[in-house]
Amino acid sequence: MDASTINWLAVVTSTVVFYAIGGLWYSPVLFASAWMKEIGMTKDDAKKSSLGKIMTVTFLLSFIMVTNLAFFLNDPKITTSTGALYGFLTGFGWVSMSVALNALYEQRSLKYILINAGYLTIGFTVSGLILGAWR
């Protein structure tokens, strides 16, 4: 695969969008309370965390994931719809099933699986859509 043919502006944009989806997904607007309950975290615990470090590493990990997806979608035949489909298949078929597999052994709830897998499936789908559209 030739990295010179990847649209790096699309990768950065997809990374920002993936990151923003996570910010919204795990915010009080959507699933923060349910997610914190499922992992046994209190608001006081959250306040003690190094949020700046976590957010920086999260952005870097999102960039790596989106870059990986960009290499898979690095074909001129990829369109907006095929990019979204392949993003969905990546998020649901590989990543979400991995989350579920690990969560089962960790004795996590279905709610925990759905919250985390839902975010990743949507994030990869939207990233695939952006990467497919922005050729």
**pLDDT averages per 10-residue partition of the chain, 135 residues:** 90 98 97 97 89 95 98 96 98 98 98 98 98 94
User: Helix, strand or coil for residue 48?
Assistant: helix
pLDDT on residue 46: 86
State residue 38 phi and psi, 5-degree precision: -65, -30
Structure tokens at 129: 């859509």
User: Residue 47: its pLDDT value, please?
Assistant: 84
CB-based contacts of 123, cutoff 8 Å, min separation 6: 18, 21, 22, 62, 91
- How far is it, in rounded angstroms, from Cα 120 to Cα 92? 8
C-alpha span between 103 and 56 (Å, rounded): 25
Q: Where are the domains of the chain?
A: 3-133
